[in-house]
Homo-oligomer: A and B are copies of this chain.
Amino acid sequence: MAAVDDLLKANERYLAGFPGPRPKNPSLKLTIITCMDSRLDLFGALGLNIGEAHLIRNAGGIPTDDVLRSLAISQRALGTEEVVLIHHTDCGMEGFDDTAFRAQLESETGRAPTWDVRGFDDVRDDVRRSVEIVRGCPWVPNRDKVRGFVFDVASARVEAVD
């Protein structure tokens, strides 16, 4: 049986406590950009309620072109104004060997990937770099409230990176 079948049963139990329809525009006017990592439950870790903030997630929590696309839509079409970037400790992308990974993919499939792998060396440095990428994106209109953080996967503590 696939894992999703159990999740669908859990969904049945969730329905009774769901608060019902909320507006499309996030009420905190906030977008959070973070990693896909399975240890980051952002609703829990930040006390978010349904309808409050957009969550954009990819491998590393890196502001790739697709993240900037999503953020531009979040701000211009759905009214958000503030951005929070969260990387985390023990990330699969920290120290990742981009060159070897690309070579492996090309060797196995006969085609080099059309995207950059985007590993990084130091989580705090990469948070700072990510904040600068968002602040420098011309298509994102609201760039004065962009802050960076690291989530500790052992303690769940979120710490600012200045």
Contact = CB atoms under 8 A, between A and B. Distances in A.
A125 B161 CA distance: 42
Interface in A25-72: 26-31, 36-41, 43-48, 50-59, 64-70, 72
Contact of A145 (B2, B20, B22, B90): B2
Q: In the assembly, how many copies of this chain are there? A: 2
Contact of A58 (B40, B69, B77): B69
Contact of A69 (B6, B47, B68, B118): B118
A105 B73 CA distance: 11
A11 interface: yes
Contact of A45 (B11, B39, B70): B11
B55 A57 contact: yes
Contact of A43 (B44, B74, B104, B109): B44
